[in-house]
Each structure stands twice: as structure tokens, then as C-alpha cells.
């Protein structure tokens, strides 16, 4: 009887269409941008980015809430278009890259808010401090790469903000803004 039940279960599983599962993607570093914007003394905003980003996605297009993301950023790769300022940003006043060579983000929840939008919540670890951060995410598209159809690519845009003092980066606050605005653009290739 037991073997008959197992055989029936296997037959049913083979005849039913496969359930959708999250696919693995790797972030394409040449098409990954993590930019920041922060008030400088109230006169203007300093804009910069991190040039070295790596990470993976588990993306389920049919059920985006079942997806996940893990990202690592090399803090020494900061680039604000001014070498002297970048050297200061790498020091203990700001990113302290000697002690903390990376910052990481690991998703903990995804809330679908529209056909191609959602809120991505995760743990951001910066300067050894881990805090939850929520980003507004737009799924741009997924499909074969136009220049190499054998490669499947998914693209996302995200925005959000953090309070830098909450991570222990309080230098020159509030003259240099507490709120850091984030803009993220990611392309990831299916493994």
C-alpha cells in the first residue's frame, strides 16, 4: 500500500506543471551603481557613489515577495569626484575603511506595492552597526540581453535614505547633513 501511495504521488508530481521558484542572479558590477547625496553646509549637496559592488539575488518574478538580495560594497571605492574629499571620506571621520572595508545589505522582507514596485527591507551593516533600512524598489524588466540573447538579465532601481549618525558617523553634524539619500541601479545576470 505504501509503495502504491509513493508511486501515485510521484506520478502526480511528474504530470503537474512545475511550480515557479526563485532564480539565482549575480550582480553585474559594470552596471551597478550605489549613489548617495548629502547636504553640504546647507549650500549644496555632495553627490558620490561606490564603484565596487557585488552580490546576489534570488528573484522570483511570479512571486516577488519570495525573492531576496545580498549586497557587499567596498567602502574604499567611494568616489565623489574629488580625490581630497574621497580621502577624507575614507578616514575615521566617515567610512573608516581600514577598520570597516565593506558595508553589507541583506534583505529580510519584500512587500509588493504595485505591478512593478515594492518595498525592500533589509539589514544594512555600516561601520560595524547593523540597522534596518527600507528601500522603494522598481522592477524594470527581465529577459534576454539584447546583445547576447543567451544571457538573461534582470534590472532594478531603488531609492531610500539613512541617518548616518545612527551608524556612528556623526562628524560635522548637522552642518553636513544627517540624512543621506540613496539611489541604486542594478542589473543582474541569471546564473
Residue 15 scores a pLDDT above 80: no
Q: What is the pLDDT of residues 138-172, one digit of tens each?
A: 999 999 999 999 999 999 999 999 999 999 999 99
Per-residue pLDDT, 3? 44
Per-residue pLDDT, 182? 98
Indicate the pLDDT class of residue 127, thresholds 50, 70 and 90: very high
For residues 164 and 98, what is the distance between their CA atoms, to the nearest angstrom?
Answer: 18
- Average confidence (pLDDT) over 17-21: 50
Long-range contacts of 171-180 (CB under 8 A, 24+ apart): 171/93, 171/94, 172/93, 175/41, 175/42, 176/38, 176/39, 176/40, 176/41, 177/38, 177/39, 177/40, 177/45, 179/38, 179/39, 180/36, 180/37, 180/38
Domains of the chain: 19-190 (2.40.128.110)
Residue with cell 567610512: 95
Indicate the pLDDT class of residue 1, thresholds 50, 70 and 90: very low
Percent of the chain with pLDDT over 70: 90
Indicate the pLDDT class of residue 20, thresholds 50, 70 and 90: low
Per-residue pLDDT, 96? 98
Per-residue pLDDT, 21? 80
Are the beta carbons of 28 and 188 closer than 8 angstroms?
yes
Q: What is the pLDDT of residues 54-81, one digit of tens each?
A: 999 999 999 999 999 999 999 999 999 9
- Average confidence (pLDDT) over 16-29: 76
- Average confidence (pLDDT) over 113-127: 98
Amino acid at each position: 500500500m505504501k509503495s502504491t501511495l509513493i508511486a501515485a504521488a510521484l506520478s502526480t508530481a511528474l504530470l503537474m506543471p512545475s511550480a515557479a521558484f526563485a532564480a539565482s542572479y549575480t550582480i553585474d558590477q559594470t552596471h551597478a551603481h550605489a549613489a548617495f547625496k548629502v547636504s553640504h553646509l546647507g549650500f549644496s549637496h555632495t553627490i558620490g557613489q561606490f564603484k565596487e559592488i557585488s552580490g546576489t539575488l534570488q528573484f522570483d518574478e511570479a512571486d516577488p515577495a519570495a525573492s531576496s538580495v545580498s549586497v557587499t560594497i567596498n567602502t574604499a571605492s567611494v568616489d565623489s569626484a574629488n580625490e581630497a574629499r574621497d580621502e577624507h571620506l575614507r578616514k575615521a571621520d566617515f567610512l573608516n575603511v581600514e577598520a570597516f572595508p565593506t558595508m553589507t545589505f541583506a534583505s529580510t522582507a519584500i512587500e509588493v506595492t504595485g505591478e512593478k514596485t515594492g518595498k525592500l527591507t533589509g539589514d544594512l551593516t555600516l561601520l560595524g552597526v547593523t540597522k534596518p533600512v527600507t528601500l522603494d524598489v522598481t522592477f524594470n524588466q527581465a529577459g534576454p540581453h539584447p546583445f547576447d540573447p543567451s544571457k538573461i538579465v534582470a534590472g532594478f532601481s531603488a531609492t531610500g535614505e539613512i541617518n548616518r549618525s545612527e551608524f556612528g558617523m556623526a562628524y560635522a553634524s548637522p552642518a553636513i547633513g544627517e540624512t543621506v539619500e540613496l539611489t541604486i541601479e542594478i542589473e543582474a545576470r541569471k546564473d
